[in-house]
A and B are shown apart, each in its own frame.
Chain A
Amino acid sequence: MSAESLRFFPPSSAQLSATSTPKIQSSQGMATDPSARATETDLIREAQQGSRTAFDALVRQYDQAVLRLALHLTGSEQDAEDIHQEAFLKAYRYLGNFRFECSFYTWIYRIVTNLCLDLLRRRKSRREDQAVMLDSSGEEIDLLTNVSDQRASANPDRELSRKFLGERIREALDKLTPRERMVFELKHYQGLKLRTIGEMLNTTEETAKNTLFRATRKLRANLAELR
Chain B
Amino acid sequence: MGNTMKCELAQEMIALSVYGELPDDQGPQLERHLAACELCRRELEAVQALSKAMSLLPVEEPSANLIARSRLRLEEALDAVPHGSWLLRCWQRLAQGVWRLRSAPVAVSGVLVVGLTAGGYSGYRVGEHDAVKTAPVIHPTPGEDPMADIANVSSIVQEPNTENVEVVYNRLQPETIRGSLDDPQIRQLLLVGARNRLNSGVRDNSLGLLANECRAGHQCDDGPIRDALIGAMRYDKSVAVRLKALEGLQPYVADDVRVRDAVLEALMKDTDPRVRTQAIELLEPVEADSSVREVLHTVSLRDDNPEIRTASRQVLDQIPQVQ
Contact = CB atoms under 8 A, between A and B. Distances in A.
Are A and B interaction partners?
Answer: yes
Interface of A: 6-10, 13-14, 16-17, 19-23, 25, 48-53, 55-56, 59-60, 63-64, 67-68, 71-72, 77-78, 80-82, 84-85, 88-89, 92-97, 99, 126, 129-131, 133, 143-144, 146-148, 151, 165-166, 169-170, 173, 187-190, 193-194, 209, 212-213, 216, 219-220, 223
Interface string B32-63: 00110000011011111111111111011111
Contacts of B291: 146-147
Contact of B73 (A48, A85, A95, A193): A85
B56 A212 contact: no
12 contacts: A8-B53, A48-B96, A56-B75, A63-B71, A80-B70, A85-B73, A97-B92, A126-B271, A129-B302, A130-B269, A144-B268, A169-B54
Contacts of A170: 57
A146 B261 CA distance: 10
Contacts of A77: 63, 66
B317 interface: no
Most A CB contacts (10 A, CB to CB) among B22, B44, B88 go to: B44
B196 to A, nearest CB: 12
**Taking chain B's interface residues, is the majority helix, strand, or loop, or is none over half, making it mixed?**
helix
A144 B18 contact: no
Given A144-B265, A147-B268, A53 B154 contact: yes
Interface string B248-269: 0000000001000100110011
A146 to B, nearest CB: 7
A189 B18 contact: no
Contacts of A14: 31, 34-35, 41, 44
A7 B16 CA distance: 20
B78 interface: yes
Given A8-B52, A133-B294, 15 more contacts: A19-B51, A49-B153, A55-B78, A63-B71, A71-B62, A84-B74, A85-B70, A96-B96, A143-B268, A144-B268, A189-B57, A189-B59, A209-B16, A212-B19, A219-B50
Interface in B266-296: 268-269, 271, 291, 294-295
B96 A59 contact: no
B128 interface: no
Central interface residue in A19, A48, A126, by most chain B CB within 10 Å: A19
Contacts of B47: 216, 220
A50 B77 CA distance: 16
A187 B96 CA distance: 34
A166 B89 CA distance: 44
B85 interface: yes
Nearest to A141: B294
Given A14-B31, A85-B74, A143-B294, A99 B96 contact: yes
A149 B106 CA distance: 65
Nearest to B298: A131
Contact of A188 (B45, B48, B54): B54
Contact of B299 (A10, A67, A71, A131): A131
Nearest to A84: B70
A190 B59 CA distance: 8
Nearest to A77: B66
Given A7-B49, A9-B45, A85-B197, A50 B154 contact: yes
Contacts of B52: 8, 10, 20
A72 B60 contact: yes
